[in-house]
A and B are shown apart, each in its own frame.
Chain A
Amino acid sequence: MALLYAKTHEWYDKASGKIGISEYAANALVDIVFVDLPEVGTMLAAGDSFATLESVKAVSDIYSPVSGEIVEVNEALRDAPELINEDPEQTWFVAIKAETEATGLMDKAAYEAYCASNPEA
């Protein structure tokens, strides 16, 4: 998969429509204890938050890079949110049927450079 990354630390695979979070983000969140997933069929606009991740002491929103309909949800995350920490780049949250093109995304190298120069983000 050639993943593209958003400034908000999600990765997006255009071919499958799958969205997850980067290793950088997963490490920052430390242990994820709960994922609040949306329902299949939910319509999203680019930039909408569609899920929240909970660690023991914090909550993070996950944003969609594209507009479209959620066609699949990774049910395994309901009982095993730790999968995200174990292998973030392989663990997807939802698959979206995109109606728009993703804009503002970076390839891996550009994303890593972005993270290095913006540690607060």
Chain B
Amino acid sequence: MKTLFDISKAGAKALFIDSSILSATSYRLDPKLLRSQPARLPQVAENELARHYTALSKRAFGVDDGFYPLGSCTMKYNPKVSEKIASLEGFAGIHPAQSESDTQGILQIMYQLQDMLSALCGMDKFTLMPSAGAHGEYTSLQMIRAYHLERGDTKRAKIIVPDSAHGTNPASTAMAGFTAVNIPSKDGMVDLQALQQVVGEDTAGLMLTNPNTLGLFEKDILQISSIVHGAGGLLYYDGANLNAIVGNIRPGDMGFDIVHLNLHKTFSTPHGGGGPGSGPVGCKQLLAPYLPVSNVACKDGQYYFADPEKSIGRVKMYYGNIGVCLKAWAYIAMLGTEGLKDASLMAVLNANYMLAKLKDKFKVVSDKCMHEFVLSLQELKEKTGVSALDFAKAMIDEGMHPPTMYFPQIVKEALMIEPTETESKETLDKAIASILKLYEQAFAQPESMHLAPRTTPIGRPDEVLAARNPILAYEFDSPLEGQ
């Protein structure tokens, strides 16, 4: 398909603004300040742009297109009413530096969302500032660091991370000035003995997601909490898997001191092709003074910004991904506690149903799960040569998005399936039938699966070439002047 630069025609115009001031006045920048060559943005007429992006959209696949069982991503349906709300002029058209009296409406919603999330998580205070889950992790780790330092506890340089954890956990740890210590899992769960051996005076905390990345609930969580707290560390909850329990179980009741949430997962805001998300952080009172600036407070029915007394500082310009927060607010307001309980229960039901139908053919970690489960295709690969990657690519030809591949790293040839609660039994049955069909196909015609996908605009891309010889921008005939 042609790029914008291929269809660009000098003189084509799509933006029509009032520029009469240019002929009415002679204010111009001194030529000495100007760049030597204009930016070579394309020149395309409006109708051609409409066709270009429409064509691009037909080479994409969203939740509205089909089944999207990406483990750990919670690709549930995105309610359209949330889009409508976020685009209301009274939200989209307000400047962040307007006075508090000018913006009581949005401040009220932010305050309500802070409260809703606190209630759902069993936390005392929430911040809406972080832009994504990893940003929330980073913010939380800075808070944990500040907490220990303020108490004069300068030895706590280590954060414990299970080997099944998402890569953002250790990466955020390093950014926050800590050293990540990996502990191995035992049968997919936190190994209590290993944990006991690793905790000590240098433990700042443990990062955990529950259920874990295998979709299993860490039943020993209270013991884990006890071990970590006993050593003087704090317990951090990675909220990526909250969809298994939201409304039914609160992280605060499991011993967690601080949590981050993914509004673009559990709370149904759209993924947008990779973002924007939102990663609010909630904490118990002991960490509240360290929350980043700014928080929304309320007094006598008036909403205002308040800065926590010992804040770690600022992690974002202005107040957070407000447009995303609005959508999460609407979702929670519509579902309420009852609806959220139903949602997480149905999420777990859907996952267990699929697992029940697939566990005889594939190797599984456990025959019951929470909201997601992991299949290992190692045995299939040994017998047929068909890998998890091949299988996933063949699933594309069956009209669905593949599951998460090769994560968590502790399972070989892993496919992690999270159906979410918004899928009907019919959709699940169809997906199950496709997967079982592909299983048979792996034995009967393994070659066909090495060639998958075949129904997409392109076949498998050469990723080695892409990494060895990166072409990261359109190659114009000549470089920009000066280069």
Contact = CB atoms under 8 A, between A and B. Distances in A.
Determine if chain A interacts with chain B.
yes
B464 A31 contact: yes
B464 A56 contact: yes
Nearest to B406: A57
Interface in A96-111: none
Interface in B310-360: none
A81 B406 contact: no
Interface in B447-483: 463-464, 467-468
Interface string A27-67: 00001011000000000000000000010110000000000
Contacts of B406: 57
A18 B169 CA distance: 36
Nearest to A30: B464
B471 to A, nearest CB: 14
Contacts of A82: 468
A31 B464 CA distance: 7
A47 B406 CA distance: 29
B430 to A, nearest CB: 30
Interface string B210-226: 00000000000000000
A22 B468 CA distance: 21
Contacts of A57: 406
Contacts of B464: 31, 33, 56
A33 B469 CA distance: 9
Interface string B402-442: 00001000000000000000000000000000000000000
A78 to B, nearest CB: 12
Interface string A6-32: 000000000000000000000000010
A29 to B, nearest CB: 11
Contacts of A81: 468
Contacts of A54: 467
A54 B464 CA distance: 10
A54 B468 CA distance: 10
A56 B465 CA distance: 9
Nearest to A33: B467
A8 B467 CA distance: 25
B393 to A, nearest CB: 15
A110 to B, nearest CB: 28
A82 B469 CA distance: 11
Contacts of A31: 464, 468
Contacts of A34: 467-468
B182 to A, nearest CB: 14
Contacts of A56: 463-464, 467
B163 to A, nearest CB: 14
Interface in B239-287: none
Nearest to B463: A56
A31 B463 CA distance: 10
Contacts of B467: 33-34, 54, 56
Interface string B199-215: 00000000000000000
A81 B464 CA distance: 11
B179 to A, nearest CB: 15
Residue among A33, A34, A82 having the largest count of chain B Cβ atoms under 10 Å: A33
Nearest to A31: B464
A4 B467 CA distance: 31
Contacts of B468: 31, 33-34, 81-82
A56 B464 CA distance: 6
B424 to A, nearest CB: 34
A34 B467 CA distance: 8
A3 to B, nearest CB: 27
A54 B463 CA distance: 12
- Considering residues B406, B463, B464, which has the most beta carbons from chain A within 10 angstroms of its beta carbon? B464
Interface of A: 31, 33-34, 54, 56-57, 81-82
14 contacts: A31-B464, A31-B468, A33-B464, A33-B467, A33-B468, A34-B467, A34-B468, A54-B467, A56-B463, A56-B464, A56-B467, A57-B406, A81-B468, A82-B468
Given A33-B464, A57-B406, 12 more contacts: A31-B464, A31-B468, A33-B467, A33-B468, A34-B467, A34-B468, A54-B467, A56-B463, A56-B464, A56-B467, A81-B468, A82-B468
Nearest 3 A-B pairs (CB), nearest first?
A33-B467, A31-B464, A56-B463
